[in-house]
Amino acid sequence: MELEAFCRKLPKVELHAHLNGSLSHSTMLQLKRYHADSGLTDNTDAFFDEFQIAAGDTRNLKQCFQVFRIAHSLTTTPEALTLATHLTLQEFQDDGCCYIELRSTPRDTPHMTKKQYIEAIILAMLHTPANMTIISRLIVSIDRRFNFAEAQEITDLVIEFHKLYSSVVVGIEISGDPSVGKFQTFVPLLENAKNAGLKVTLHCGEVCNPDEVQEMLDFNPNRIGHGTCILPRLGGNDATWNTLCIKKTPVEVCLTSNVNTKSIANYESHHFKELFDAGIPIIICTDDKGVFATSLSQEYRLCAETFKLDNSQLAQLSHRACLYIFDETSRKTVLDKLEHFITHNDLHLQ
């Protein structure tokens, strides 16, 4: 089987995907049609072509964060969110993804509250179209630019919804422009969420800030996203790298996102190699497949091509990723699927 087909067929888990960054061009067109049919306005006309950030795009990391406003203007009602969730889940499923933790930042819009925002995604995940087999879970995001009160409002909602729908709402995370806000603001809230049974993942080391990276690693999150500026050669220091090597905190690796936002110069110099060699758990993820015009199978393929991995090693990556999914009750189902694939394709795990 050629590599591209193998990567698509391989059962995979997606653990780092932002809903509004994952909207494909076709999903955005359907959302635009829904808005027009419902008499709602959106502000996409001037910006539609600016949504995708391809290789060599001249925008810097800060400017990249502007594009989410385009998607946000298309997800302003519970119905639009339901549509966006269903279409996105379908695309991940078609790409061979069998389990996904989709994440999203609750927003008040003229048509819904933050509470209705979260509820709409939960209900969309609970009531998927009949042909959908992908297991979907929700991680609620806190944007770094939120003040304590705003973040507290969201944390309280996440805890409330976790009590009602513990099988769907599995985690909480911190994301948004890494040059804004301070991790320490959110620590007491994350502790509350942890104590309520939620898992925690943090966008960590997207920009050079070794003090914050150290604080984040010392917090003992269940996983971190990116982990770019942890190695000394990428803006971390010996202490941050040694801490990661000792704690072996699982890292959600987003190759294309890092290259296209110029956080990393090219695929070859991605820290995947050092993480892999140090035995740090790695989960290959897309981050924002709509913005970066990628897919989960494409990320596996790029990883294999860049770091010379064979099919058994790719299957091993996917197999190992299953150990870090937040919904432990789904782990066996996902592992069974992978083990079946491994046996039938004569692959060998080490």
Query: What is the binding site for ligand IMP (CB under 6 A)?
Result: 18-21, 68, 104-105, 141, 143, 175-176, 203, 206, 257, 287-288
Of the candidate spans 27-35, 105-113, 126-134, 280-288, the one that interacts with Zn ion by CB under 5 A turns out to be 280-288
Could you tell me the smallest distance in angstroms from the CB atom of residue 349 to ligand IMP? 31
Could you tell me the smallest distance in angstroms from the CB atom of residue 258 to Zn ion? 10
Residue 206 annotated among the catalytic residues of the structure: yes
Does residue 287 bind Zn ion (CB under 5 A)?
A: yes
Beta-bridged to residue 143, according to DSSP, are 175
- The H or E element containing residue 148 is helix 148-164
Q: Helix 296-307 vs helix 311-321: angle between axes, to the nearest 10 degrees?
A: 130
Could you tell me the smallest distance in angstroms from the CB atom of residue 124 to ligand IMP? 13
Calpha distance 209→205 (Å, rounded): 7
Could you tell me the smallest distance in angstroms from the CB atom of residue 256 to ligand IMP? 11
91 binds, among ligand IMP, Zn ion, none (CB under 5 to 8 A by kind): none
Kindly list the distances between the CA atom of residue 192 and the CA atoms of 22, 33, 143, 198, 324, in Å, as whole numbers in the listed order.
29, 41, 17, 9, 21
260 binds, among Zn ion, ligand IMP, none (CB under 5 to 8 A by kind): none
Could you tell me the smallest distance in angstroms from the CB atom of residue 270 to ligand IMP? 15
Indicate the residue among 72 and 320 with the shorter CB distance to ligand IMP. 72
Indicate the residue among 98 and 140 with the shorter CB distance to ligand IMP. 140
Contact 256, 53 (CB under 8 A): no
Does residue 143 bind Zn ion (CB under 5 A)?
A: no
Q: What is the DSSP letter of 56?
A: T
Does residue 173 bind Zn ion (CB under 5 A)?
A: no
Calpha distance 183→299 (Å, rounded): 29
Q: Which of 91, 101, 119, 206 is catalytic?
A: 206
Contact 141, 22 (CB under 8 A): no
235 binds, among Zn ion, ligand IMP, none (CB under 5 to 8 A by kind): none
Considering only CA atoms, which of 1, 18, 2, 214 is closest in space to residue 107? 18
Could you tell me the smallest distance in angstroms from the CB atom of residue 68 to ligand IMP? 4
Give the β-pairing of 223-226 and 251-253.
parallel
Indicate the residue among 11 and 176 with the shorter CB distance to ligand IMP. 176
214 binds, among Zn ion, ligand IMP, none (CB under 5 to 8 A by kind): none
Per-residue b or e along 148-166, where b marks 16 or more CB atoms closer than 10 Å to that residue's CB: eeebbbbbebbbebbeebe
Specify the length of the chain in residues: 350
The structure tokens listed for 87 are: 């279409």
Q: What is the residue whose two structure tokens read 């897309």?
A: 286
- The H or E element containing residue 15 is strand 12-18
Indicate the residue among 162 and 203 with the shorter CB distance to ligand IMP. 203
Of the candidate spans 79-87, 180-188, 279-287, 306-314, the one that interacts with Zn ion by CB under 5 A turns out to be 279-287
* Site residues (vs Zn ion, CB under 5 A): 287
Which residues form the catalytic set? 206
